[in-house]
Homo-oligomer: A and B are copies of this chain.
Amino acid sequence: MTADREAPVGVFDSGVGGLTVAREIMRNLPSEKIVYFGDTARVPYGNKSRETVTRFSRQIIRFLQEQNVKAIVIACNTASSFALDTLEKEFDLPILGVIEAGAKVAAAATVNGRVGVIGTEGTIQSRIHETYLKGIDRKITVYGKACPLFVPLVEEGWLHDPVTVEVASRYLQELKDKDIDTLILGCTHYPLIRSTIGKVMGDTVRLVNPAYETALELKSLLAKLDLESTQQSQEEFPYRFFVSDLAEKFQHFANSILPYDVSMTRKIDIERYEG
């Protein structure tokens, strides 16, 4: 493979959540172009099986390859948990997930060795954060908790609503009882309710958002592979957005969280990319 250093980076998620990762890449790797794909026709991934999430992710990587990306970031914890291992073997292309970065920061941050992880059912059941954290430091104890209502609450826009505070209190109580000092936000939607989660957990618990660290990991990966963009893009649209459904709704949401005007979002038929 001879990749072009001026080629874009591919970033994908089940929907809009991965935009929190794209945002960090835009901030920290400003010369890089991005092709973003949100699988809005099949969102969410968090309550689906390893096999299905892997198949969906494979189709998306095929699509991104067609867009000539030089590297791919799986900006979705569920897809990173279920599909990264399998797909990095199948494709001749550097692929990065969001789990490892979050685990590294959490391992460095914890003082009492008690780390919590919140995420979708799929991510929590996979226990993948525990695998990484134990790999870094066997003495760390990991407590996982699935929070299936957080994504719909974020998508409903109830970010600071008393209902969201009540749901968060309910979900997070058992992690508080475990006396954790560090909590990984193991779903890309969760940074959008970070302040609510922080209020419930209290000041003594450090919240880890893997998005920033993933952007830094991408930066060193591109450097290592000699694939860093060396010139500021002259393109009119350095950031291109694709979805599998409802381009307009996606664009509206994207505009609310990106420091950038998302003016073009195109809908494509992702099922066409089945092998």
Interface residues of A (CB under 8 A from B): 40-43, 47-49, 51-52, 148-149, 151-153, 155-156, 162-163, 166-167, 170, 244-246, 271, 274
Contact = CB atoms under 8 A, between A and B. Distances in A.
A42 B271 CA distance: 12
Contacts of A245: 48-49, 51-52
Interface centre among A148, A153, A271 (most CB of B within 10 A): A271
* Count of this chain's copies in the oligomeric assembly: 2
A153 B149 contact: yes
A139 to B, nearest CB: 34
A246 B40 contact: no
A209 to B, nearest CB: 23
A48 B52 contact: no
A1 B149 CA distance: 46
For the complex of A and B, list the 3 residue pairs with the smallest distance between their C-beta atoms, beginning with the closest.
Answer: A152-B152, A52-B245, A271-B271
Nearest to A39: B42
B148 A152 contact: yes
Contact of A148 (B148, B155, B244): B155
10 contacts: A41-B42, A41-B52, A42-B42, A48-B245, A148-B155, A148-B156, A149-B153, A163-B167, A166-B166, A271-B274
A51 to B, nearest CB: 8
Contacts of A170: 163
